Amino acid sequence: MTKFYTDSFEETMKLGERFAQKIEQGCTILFFGDLGAGKTTFIKGMAQGLGIESDAISSPSFQYLKIHQGRLNLYHFDLWRLENCEQFFAQGFDEFLQDPQGVSCLEWAEKINLIQLGPTIKISLQHERENRRIIEIQDEKAPTS
């Protein structure tokens, strides 16, 4: 587990960008944290690191999945409105998580219960105060400083 502190939107973006540069293909990243914690911001940074226009990343709250193509395919899920875990599988979303040329990012990952996933990293974000966020990356390959 590696703990980071960021003090601005830009710092969180930068952390996401560096994280994406080291990402393993086929990896799934589960994001935890309240609304406004910075999940989408971190994913915007990841997009940048994957050669995807970061402006293309938004919280698709009315849409569960957005697909972006860069150095790897980025599958950006926002499961906030998902009613239950079965719905995720009924839509065949788990197929995307298995794309060896892809990276999947799941906001509100607590909504689903995934078993037998490939490489998985958990990222928890916490709103500490105004612009300060605590970001915990549960993976030994997290970027250092």
- Applying CB under 5 A, which residues contact Mg ion? 39-40, 59, 107
Phi, psi of 111 (to 5 degrees): -70, -20
In the block, which residue shows the tokens 């078993």? 115
Q: Which is nearer to Mg ion, 98 or 131 (CB)?
A: 131
Minimum CB separation of residue 136 from ligand ADP in Å reads 14
Q: Which is nearer to ligand ADP, 7 or 53 (CB)?
A: 7
What is the C-alpha to C-alpha distance for residues 42 and 59, in angstroms, rounded to an integer? 11
What is the C-alpha to C-alpha distance for residues 84 and 101, in angstroms, rounded to an integer? 27
Closest by CA position to 89, among listed 79, 99, 74: 79
**Which residues would be at the binding site for ligand ADP (CB under 6 A)?**
6-9, 11-12, 33, 35-41, 59, 107, 131, 133
Task: List the single partner that 48 binds among ligand ADP, Mg ion, none, CB under 5 to 8 Å by kind.
Answer: none
Minimum CB separation of residue 36 from ligand ADP in Å reads 5
Minimum CB separation of residue 41 from Mg ion in Å reads 8
What is the C-alpha to C-alpha distance for residues 53 and 49, in angstroms, rounded to an integer? 10
